[in-house]
Chain A
């Protein structure tokens, strides 16, 4: 694509001709065309004209050479007059469009722009089924049912929170106790417990204290009393 982009930006033969004439501030006449023939031929030689446009460039070149030869040999002028004035006319008209294109460019580059109403890119909404047999009491029933189903979930959350807090509290309790007494048993700690969960929490707190090397524990046999000692 790179090549094509370059091609599109390439000036046409008439544009090259126009620039040559305007550079010398000449009016667009056959005489001025004859004067810039040399410059035009040099342009074709030195610039890399795209092959697809070379033919167009050469057509203009032959017309220029014709005009130039007429200027040198005025005798034959009558025969070719038509063709040479045609190129000048073509160039003059071309210049009109080039001038007008500047107006268009201004219009294109300024901020004055209209917009059409865009069709919203909405996802199609399907109307869905229309339910007719619903009463407000049915809705209330459904909502109550929903809340009931959610209950275990809320309970679970509270329980989990309780346990975390309890372990931490129990740990501090046991820690205080062991600091005061140096020796104690697990039965003493658990005796204040009201439920199985409480005992489990006490045990977890004890394990944590062991892990932190605050206490050491000894148990003779399975299910026997756990002796707790302070680590000094």
Chain B
């Protein structure tokens, strides 16, 4: 029954819902919510289902099956977004694989100032900027909109996602150069 309720809430809300909000409002434990979300994901994220569940950044959202993208966008008269510039793509890739990530960290990897690109990506709604409570810095993550645009259910579907995330060399690079001002 809990699964049914959560499914109904997700459909009605349309927008991304934080898992923690589901817990609070429905008075549930983390495990129960997790189980319910896993159940919904297993039932919906199939080729035969028109509606899929996207999970990203501790939030879930019901979206259309990415495979139907072409026809749905025709029906909704949505124009595909224009191509991204290479620097934008690079920055998005870094944020997608390593987010939440700070601006100095992005700049360390790219070796160049990224303020302008980050601002443009924020304006296009592809990334979101949040205050990291422990690091006391602004951190960037890709948005639900961007995941929709690339038609993934979550970042873990990116090729070699775990390898990139846990790459020792990258961690080393990001940790060992506090003296670089960019």
- Chain A interface residues (CB < 8 Å from chain B): 4, 7-15, 52-53, 56, 59-60, 86, 89-90, 92-94, 96-98, 100-101, 103-105, 107-119
Verify A110–B151 contact, CB threshold 8 A.
Answer: yes
Q: Which residue of A lies closest to B94 (CB)?
A: A97
Distance in Å from the Cβ of A108 to the closest Cβ of chain B? 5
Chain A residues, CB < 8 A from B72: 113, 115
Q: Chain A: interface secondary structure? A: helix
Verify A14–B110 contact, CB threshold 8 A.
Answer: yes
Verify B65–A114 contact, CB threshold 8 A.
Answer: yes
**Interchain CA distance A105-B177 in the complex, whole Å:** 30
Q: Restricting to B110-146, which residues have a CB under 8 Å from any CB of A?
A: 110-113, 116-117, 120, 144
Verify B110–A94 contact, CB threshold 8 A.
Answer: yes
Verify B66–A113 contact, CB threshold 8 A.
Answer: yes
Question: Within 8 Å of chain A (Cβ to Cβ): is B61?
Answer: yes
Chain A residues, CB < 8 A from B182: 56
Most buried by A among B65, B112, B158: B112
Stretch from B1-9, B26-34, B77-85 that touches the partner = B77-85
Verify B93–A118 contact, CB threshold 8 A.
Answer: no
Question: Within 8 Å of chain A (Cβ to Cβ): is B109?
Answer: yes
Distance in Å from the Cβ of A207 to the closest Cβ of chain B? 61
**Interchain CA distance A115-B51 in the complex, whole Å:** 10
Q: Can you list 11 A-B contacts with CB-CB less than 8 angstroms, sorted by A residue number?
A: A52-B113, A86-B177, A104-B150, A107-B150, A107-B151, A108-B84, A111-B70, A113-B69, A114-B64, A115-B63, A117-B63
